[in-house]
Amino acid sequence: MSTRFACGERWEAAGAGGEHVIHPARRILVDEIVNDVGGTLELQAAIVTQPLPRLPSRIMQIRPRTGLRGNLGQPIYLARSSEVVMSRRVRPAAELRQMLELPHDFPIGVVFFDRDEHLEIVWARRSEVVRGLAATDYAFVASPSYSLYESRPRLEQLYNLRRTDVFTGLLAAAGVPVIPRIDWMIRADINRVGAWLAANPVVSVVALDWMTMRSRRGWDLALNGLRLLDDQTGRRLRYLINGPSNGSRRDLLEEVFHERVTTTKSSLASPPPEGAVKTFYDPYCMRAREEEEFADTTNRLPAAAGLAGREESQSAASTDNDALGEAA
């Protein structure tokens, strides 16, 4: 892609590209990049099994905050990778459950949909991170969403798609239940994903990160691309889609893909619902957030094992002021 946008000599701070942009003319760098992803840019991850819990139409993302204790009423939650991959270790699922006072077998998934800076650190530590994830029992892991920018060179786009693929393969090889993240920039990318899915027929759920899909044009292109992929794969896949918070967009996804779509978003990043009142026992207004999130959906799962009776025991647990003192 030889344009003034992708191949400029100088870059504005907020502009596309940058001093480390990957350009085909930089032969030595190109070789290093390709070697960094196993010597090929083709999708090669192999998934022989995909044991996953049943996914509802929507899943909320949570953070390790003690102020959420006693206020989590859904049967499954997601945690972002920045809350799981710590500076020197991978946070075990048991630690997260204990912090939130969830049952010992409560399903929590991990999504590597996060800031670019964080995901670059994850890539540099990928072997260590995968070993840490394999040593714990998260319900599943959605592989990293390395960013695609329309104005960047084609090689960079292929490199980031392949990095996601490499990480997916590492997770699968380590026995971690993985939901592969997929993405595309052009129709050829969709065809590549379709061919990869045909070679991995056990994959029934894929993940997409549409967190930054704000413009109408970007949304339409993404949705049309997903329709094309859905046709190629025989409408057999379920889609875990991060980002759409607009009600009309979520309704459209459910209209097009029916029960085969699960949406999620960063639940605590936005202000609480209008009229919600923070309390000492619910400082994040989580109950009001969940009521608003699920008010217009009937595709909810039955209560998970161990959740029954939590309402009755909550008042006693809530009186433990020392345990709740960490809430912030």
Q: Where are the domains of the chain?
A: 57-266
Q: CB–CB of 74/103 below 8 Å?
A: no
pLDDT of residue 306: 32
Residue 299 has pLDDT above 90, yes or no: no
Q: How confident is the model at residue 24 (pLDDT cuts 50, 70, 90)?
A: low
Q: What is the C-alpha separation between 104 and 97, in angstroms, rounded?
A: 7
What is the structure's pLDDT at 248?
86
What's the chain look like in SS3? Answer: CCCCCCCCCCCCCCCCCCCCCCCCCCHHHHHHHHHHCCCCCCCCCCCCCCCCCCCCCEEEEECCCHHHCCCCCCCCEEEEHHHCECCCCECCHHHHHHHHCCCCCCCEEEECCCCHHHHHHHHHCHHHHHHHHHCCCCCEEECCCCCCCCCCCHHHHHHHHHHHHHHHHHHHHCCCCEECECCCCCHHHHHHHHHHHHHCCCCCEEEEECCCCCCHHHHHHHHHHHHHHHHHCCCCCEEEEECCCCHHHHHHHHHHHHHHEEEEECCCCCCCCCCCCCCCCCCCCHHHHHHHHCCCCCCCCCCCCCCCCHHHHHHHHHCCHHHHCCCC
pLDDT averaged over every residue in the chain = 82
- Per cent of the chain over pLDDT 70 is 79
Mind listing the pLDDT tens digit for each residue in 188-240?
999 999 999 999 999 999 999 998 887 888 899 999 999 999 999 999 999 99
Comparing 158-172, 220-234, 275-289, 310-324, the range with the smallest average pLDDT is 310-324
Specify the pLDDT at position 94.
97
- Would you state the pLDDT for residue 130? 98
At 29 the pLDDT is 74
Above 60 in pLDDT, residue 278? Answer: yes
pTM above 0.85, yes or no: no
Confidence of residue 277 (pLDDT cuts 50, 70, 90): confident
- pLDDT at position 250: 87
CATH code 3.30.565.10 for 57-266: no
State yes or no: pLDDT of 161 exceeds 80. yes
pLDDT of residue 302: 37
- pLDDT higher than threshold 80 for residue 50: yes
